[in-house]
Chains A and B, each alone.
Chain A
Amino acid sequence: MADPASFDEFYLGTRDHVLRQLTAMTADPELAAEVVQEAYTRAWQRWSRVSGLDDPAAWVRTVAWRVAVSHFRRATVASRGLTRLRRSAEAGPPDDPDTVLDVEAALRRLSPEHRRALVLHEMVGLTVAQIAEETGVAQGTVKSRLSRARDHLVTALGAGYPAGIDDPPIPGEVTR
């Protein structure tokens, strides 16, 4: 019998982090909330097993991502994407900072797997090896995705975008 109290503690302690990560991965807060909720529901259904994992939050994050990918593939989401594109082309909501919309739009131009790798590295703080393990691809593929994601973002945001600190090095990657 799964322990409700331990699940509640886990859920309340991790949901905001996972939601933020999925929001960045999907560039869609509503979709992120939907898939995160779904992932935690599945976690509860398997809580006796999931609670024994080294990192249950990583399991939830992976499930949420897979659910998101299935959403990406559905035609209904495609129509939502068109709506978002139209909305992006028009003026944003009054309380939406332009910079956030810029980054969101740039993120959406990345492939889902590029976004995922970027978020896992930049936000979650996983190493290339850890990303490779979570995403099920070779470390070389992870490095390639991170590099391409950065390049695409820089291109998409343009030279006029506010500059920040230097890119953090990717462990195991040769600095160019």
Chain B
Amino acid sequence: MSIDLHALLGEVADRSQRVHLADPVDVRRIGDRRARRRRLQLAAGLVLVAALATGVGRALIDRDADPKPVQPVPSPTPTQAPTPAPTRSPTTEAGSGGPTTYPIETGPYRFSVRAIAVRDGRFVVVGDSSELGADAGPPVYWSDDAVQWRAPSATGAPDSVNVTDVIATDEGFLAVGLGADGPAAWWSTDGRTWVPSAVDAPGRGGADMLWGLTSTHLGYFAWGYDGGHAGLWRSTDGRTWSPAGDQAVFDLPHDEAICAIRESGDGPVAAGVVTPRNSSEGHRVTWASADGSEWVLAEGHGPTFWCDPPKMLGHLEARSPGVGRVRIEPNGEGNEVFVGTR
């Protein structure tokens, strides 16, 4: 028997007429975006090296220490209730009728979840997708049931490989992290399409980024590093961020970090830690403000504690009426969510 292989293969190939390839400008845009992400991966590596070189970094690697993180800041967003990092393993919880574990399907890409938020039933998780030597995936995923997670489109995802925190607002979502030029923030109305916010970070460098953000009655605050020292930013709408007053007050003689912002009766308070160089111990430090613009060092010393901004103080839990409580485990496998209560 003889068959016309050329014709047969042609028939199969004709099925490609049903699919649509992108316009060339979109192909180039994706390629350019990927190149920027590679540069970000290098920047993320620099951040890690810098963190390891500081007292804050020592908290990341000192597993024998007894971490005493400051209490997470309750989000003013009613759908969020941050809690300390859970200690039970997913297997134990699943075996005892506890929350069900669902993986965030990330395809070939690495993803280590950092924070979660929900608004109107739409969940959003953000995290670290950096992977040296390989293509990085998106740093954001969204879901309407906390089970099936999807990535934003290639053009709708934050141009980042490390988004450290996310909160829900009346208008949508706000997120912060590491951008192409250091500290970066994004906003989204639906969690699927993200727009870069303008971040005024005059001292920005390769190791600078934003660690977290929260909402207060004086507006939004985000904290992180700028110019190698702790920095605090403020925004009224989440789309434009400016330094919250004179940043020199946050630049202490030793390594320092802002860990959280909490509201007191007298105004917002920034809680942080300062670690003498070459020391394994840190000291509590706080800054206070009456109006959110002028900050003063309120307390120089206190109980020894550790502050691990990206792993301990992010928004680790979110609730929606339809799904219930959804929790992430930033110290676990990295790409799992726990749905349900116990």
Contacts and interface: CB of A to CB of B under 8 A. Distances in A.
B88 interface: no
Nearest to A166: B2
B28 A44 contact: yes
Contact of A70 (B7, B12, B35, B108): B108
A102 to B, nearest CB: 9
B6 interface: yes
B6 A103 contact: no
A43 B269 CA distance: 51
B63 interface: no
Given A44-B27, A163-B3, A122 B19 contact: no
Interface size of B as a range = 20 to 34
Given A41-B31, A157-B3, A164-B3, A20 B21 contact: no
Which of A21, A41, A99 neighbours the largest number of chain B CB atoms within 10 Å of its CB?
A41
B122 interface: no
B8 A165 contact: no
B283 to A, nearest CB: 47
Interface in B1-45: 1-16, 18-22, 24-25, 27-28, 30-32, 34-35
A21 B13 contact: yes
> A-B pairs with the 4 shortest C-beta distances?
A164-B4, A20-B13, A44-B31, A23-B16
B13 A154 contact: no
A36 B11 contact: no
Nearest to A20: B13
B28 A4 contact: yes
Interface of B: 1-16, 18-22, 24-25, 27-28, 30-32, 34-35, 105, 107-108
A130 to B, nearest CB: 17
A59 interface: no
Contacts of A148: none
B108 A74 contact: yes
Contact of A123 (B10, B19, B28): B10
Interface string A1-43: 0001001100110011001111110010110110011001110
Nearest to B154: A41
A41 B34 contact: yes
Nearest to A8: B24
Given A103-B8, A103-B12, A45 B19 contact: no
Contacts of B107: 76
Given A19-B21, A45-B31, A118-B9, A32 B16 contact: yes
A119 B9 contact: yes
Given A33-B21, A40-B27, A118-B5, A19 B11 contact: no
Contacts of B24: 4, 7-8, 11-12
Contacts of B3: 153-154, 157, 161-164, 167
A35 B13 CA distance: 15
Contacts of B21: 15, 19, 33, 36-37, 40
Given A45-B35, A76-B107, A123-B13, A29 B4 contact: no
5 contacts: A20-B16, A40-B27, A122-B6, A123-B13, A161-B3
Given A41-B27, A41-B30, A100-B12, 18 more contacts: A7-B28, A19-B19, A20-B14, A23-B13, A24-B12, A33-B21, A41-B34, A70-B108, A76-B105, A99-B11, A103-B11, A122-B6, A123-B13, A154-B3, A157-B3, A159-B1, A163-B2, A168-B5
Contacts of B108: 70, 74
Contacts of A40: 21, 27
Contacts of B13: 20-21, 23-24, 123
A165 B11 contact: no
A173 B22 CA distance: 40
A68 interface: no
A1 to B, nearest CB: 12
Interface in A41-94: 41-42, 44-45, 70, 74, 76
A118 B24 CA distance: 29
Nearest to B8: A103
A104 B8 CA distance: 9
B18 A29 contact: yes
B27 A122 contact: no
